[in-house]
């Protein structure tokens, strides 16, 4: 047995989160794609079966009250809140990440302008939206649409360059907490403070950090945030996203997508809209109950788990994997894009490799599942709740064999 394999066994034996692995449906595959789709928690199928057969099948319409369907968006939001450093009543679950980005960004511009909107609304001269130039494409598309709707000019900027483009005309800034290609972690506290110093609002996309590391939304004064639940939160394919609105902004949150579910009297069926109080303002239409309650069940795996210990294991796993890659892979075959500094690292390792798509296909055939991003980036996501150090060592060893 190699020294690194023996070290992996020793690290797994001391792993305080090691017992969580048995709460997921896993096999002999090394699954390092939880940054795209988290593994299935083992108890979820039974819970979903109950939703279908008893709640829907037997109780039917009564389940909106008796099974708590109606309050699910806020109830589940309160369960996600501690994982992103938010207090109760600040998060609502529903819709997709893209829809929530649109709601958050347009609402941020409206708040920055004092509640006015439209192409001629330049209150205080705030007619610019700054967007992360390295963002996931959909966020960029949504930002373009939000800019057209609000009459703003769109300014793409790399996160490190954002402070230099902020000014009196900035209304809102949309940033990713971690780069989806490289896993680079951006400075949420520092950039949020810079945005506020310019009199603008900060909107953060947490898709690649929630459930992998501390976020501190309340602590750092983030205005609005969105995120998906099917990556590190393991909510299942297409599980509903969430929207965070800082408590002090909730009475000014003016959604561009008002719906009957966000009405102060949703069953009053009044023709005029009056926004609900608090987190329900972020709702739109009827909640997607099946996937929402699957997500609620999935969140049970977080019982008794602290985000700080998840972060500690994430850093230990990625450090160990990088050591194994350095030891096993012939020099010059891959280039790590993952920041060395822990403060700049998310929970994935990105390796630049010629022919990355074909390399990943062969890795999958050999039982190591990650993914790649064109043209040449191999991505390996490390979900601390179920990825072991033995997984990390085996993945690096198989990568070396594949490249050889």
Residues serving a catalytic function are 136, 205, 230-231, 379
Q: Alpha carbon of 275 to those of 141, 252, 253, 272: distances in Å? A: 27, 10, 9, 10
For 281, residues 6+ apart whose C-beta sits below 8 A from its C-beta are 92, 245, 250, 253, 255, 262, 275
Rounded CA separation 38/33 (Å): 7
- The conformation of residue 368, written as its DSSP 8-state character, comes to E
Q: What's the CA gap between 313 and 305, in Å, rounded?
A: 12
Cα gap 114→107, rounded to integer Å? 11
In the block, which residue shows the tokens 């602590």?
219
DSSP 145: H
Reduced 3-state DSSP string for 237-249: CCCCCEEEECHHH
Q: Which secondary-structure segment (H or E) carries 1? A: none
Instruction: Check if the beta carbon of residue 347 is closer than 8 Å to that of residue 381.
Output: yes
d(CA 169, CA 181): 30
Q: How many residues does the chain have?
A: 404
């Amino acid at each position: 047995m190699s020294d690194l394999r023996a070290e992996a066994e020793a690290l797994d034996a001391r792993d305080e989160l090691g017992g969580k692995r048995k709460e997921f449906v896993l096999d002999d595959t090394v699954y390092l794609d939880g940054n795209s789709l988290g593994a299935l928690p083992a108890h979820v199928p039974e819970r979903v079966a109950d939703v279908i057969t008893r709640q829907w099948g037997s109780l039917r319409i009564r389940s909106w009250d008796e099974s708590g369907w109606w309050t699910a968006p806020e109830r589940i939001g309160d369960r996600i809140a501690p994982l992103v450093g938010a207090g109760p009543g600040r998060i609502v679950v529903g819709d997709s990440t893209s829809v929530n980005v649109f709601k958050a960004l347009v609402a941020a511009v409206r708040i920055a302008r004092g509640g006015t909107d439209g192409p001629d609304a330049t209150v205080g001269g705030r007619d610019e939206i700054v967007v992360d130039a390295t963002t996931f494409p959909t966020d960029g598309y949504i930002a373009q649409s939000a800019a057209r709707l609000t009459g703003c000019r769109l300014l793409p900027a790399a996160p490190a360059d954002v402070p230099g483009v902020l000014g009196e005309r900035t209304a809102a800034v949309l940033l990713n907490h971690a780069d989806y290609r490289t896993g680079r972690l951006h400075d949420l506290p520092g950039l949020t403070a810079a945005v506020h110093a310019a009199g603008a609002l900060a909107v953060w996309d947490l898709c690649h950090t929630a459930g992998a590391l501390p976020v501190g939304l309340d602590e750092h004064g983030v205005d609005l945030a969105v995120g998906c639940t099917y990556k590190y939160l393991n909510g299942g394919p297409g599980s509903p996203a969430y929207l965070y609105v800082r408590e002090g902004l909730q009475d000014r949150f003016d959604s561009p997508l008002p719906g009957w579910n966000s009405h102060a009297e949703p069953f009053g069926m009044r023709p005029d809209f009056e926004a609900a109080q608090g987190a329900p303002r972020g709702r739109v239409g009827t909640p997607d109950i099946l996937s929402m309650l699957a997500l609620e069940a999935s969140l049970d795996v977080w019982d008794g788990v602290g985000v700080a210990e998840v972060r500690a294991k994430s850093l230990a796993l990625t450090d160990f994997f990088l050591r194994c890659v350095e030891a096993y892979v012939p020099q010059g075959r891959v280039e790590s894009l993952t920041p060395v500094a822990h403060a700049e690292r998310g929970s994935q390792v990105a390796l630049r490799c010629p022919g990355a798509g074909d390399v990943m296909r062969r890795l999958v055939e050999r039982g190591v599942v990650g993914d790649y991003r064109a043209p040449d980036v191999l991505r390996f996501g490390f979900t601390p709740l179920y990825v072991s150090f033995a997984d990390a060592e085996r993945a690096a060893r198989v990568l070396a064999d594949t490249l050889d």
